Amino acid sequence: MQTIPMMIDGAAVAGESRFGVIDPASGEVFAEAAQAGPADVDRAVAAARAAFPGWAATPDGERRRLLHALGDALEAHMPELMELVTRETGKPLAGLAGIGAGMEVGGAVAWTHATADLDLPVELIQDDATARVEVHRKPLGVVASVTPWNWPLLIAVWHVIPALRAGNTVVLKPSEYAPLAALRFVELASAILPPGVLNAVAGGGEVGAALVAHADVAKIVFTGSTATGRRIMQVAAGRLKRLTLELGGNDAGIVLPDVDVAAVAPQLVAATLHNNGQTCACLKRLYVHESIYDALCAELARLAGGLAVGDGLAPGSELGPLQNHRQLAIVEELADDARQQGARFLCGGRRLDRPGYFYAPTVIADATDAMRVVAEEQFGPLVPVLRYRDVDDAIARANMSDSGLGGSVWSADAARATALAQRLECGTAWVNAHGAVQPDAPFGGVKQSGIGVEFGRHGLAEYTALQTVKVAKA
């Protein structure tokens, strides 16, 4: 059985023990990861702290070169990393609409290279006879990265690469449900970066708690649930640690009556069901005008009911299993609640009778805002479709949520849709698309969906502190 170690100060560490990683397609353990103890966390943070002065002082061009080399290493190991991602998350190699393990690893490569080329130039405020005033961006120190199980490699890259680009050092703690690809990423990086610059520890919540509470951690970047984000924020407050939190989403999409139902339905299926809905910025609530409601519901159900659900390693699979048994139980509970409240299930609505954590893609008609499947983030293959008559009412209902990660408007009139999208209370608003992110555009949430942004110069700046330098002139 394959075992992937932790990496501390450039060396592989077996840890106090090992823990099993389950293949969600079978429900069986297929590999192991090294289990960290408190001493491992202390050693990893100490290594990152010791490496920080040298890495921060490394010439900018050299840091850029090393990060590009890391992107090349990820690309060279794509088949291996894709298989690890599929085995530990369940997502197919290709996936619905091409959103699968191949996209995850390919995206990690692209994000690494794009982020390596970002700059934060010195800002000149004043330069006259009295003084020269400049604003510099300086690295913070040790960054603690805590990543989730739904996109384990890509989100690790989203956290780690800008932190390193800015001159920080990092300790990464991946989810215990899907730690393997992230640990392998750090193992590859350790052959390229100086020792201690990037470290990894593995284990459950107790490891993450020890890491984020560590006195020598200057910043925490976390992607995951809002509840966990709140706890991290409480811990960070004690030492005023910097934070970037990308938390839960309950993204709403509003479909205007002028759309071509046959053309828009495949896009909506992909936006709602890719990765089994286990993406923070999946489309999770669909508000459809009453004039096209029945027609669009029927087309969504036809498409969703025909999706190929199977082992992610099997050719042709569009959707795999849910990643873990706890998430499967949540999906079943939300579906049962909607059924009891009178919702119509147009397809799916059941666990599949096979090993693993498979649930049929499900379209739910006659959903209401009061149903849990609408009010809560499903993080599963459930698509609640809600009816509206007046678009102002639809926007108000979309904005009732405590979440504010993303939202979208779908229309043949792009100008009108853009104006409506700007009324949505969310960090990113899409028009005739949903969930598409890119490495040069900031992404983050409002309300209970997080603090700070990632990607591009705005995201890179989150890993720095401002220093104003004023030089008085005679």
| Catalytic residue flag (residue 206) | no
User: Of the residues 246, 299, 318, 377, which is catalytic?
Assistant: 246
Task: Judge whether 282 counts as a catalytic residue.
Answer: no
* Distance separating alpha carbons of residues 157 and 175, to the nearest angstrom: 14
Helix or strand (DSSP H, E) at 159: helix 152-165
Side-by-side strand order, sheet with 428-431: 344-347, 362-365, 382-388, 283-289, 251-255, 406-410, 428-431
Q: Which of 32, 88, 176, 280 is catalytic?
A: 280
Nearest Cα to Cα of residue 266 among 300, 306, 297: 300
Rounded to the nearest 5°, which phi and psi values hold at 13? -130, 125
Between strands 169-173 and 142-146, the pairing is: parallel
Instruction: Give the bridge partners for 219, in sequence order.
Output: 143, 242
Distance (Å, whole) CA 28 – CA 149: 17
DSSP assignment of 69-128 equals HHHHHHHHTHHHHHHHHHHHH---SS-GGG-SHHHHHHHHHHHHHHHHT---PPEEEEES
Chain centroid, CA 102 distance in Å: 16
Element (H, E) at 198: strand 198-200
Just list the catalytic residues: 246, 280
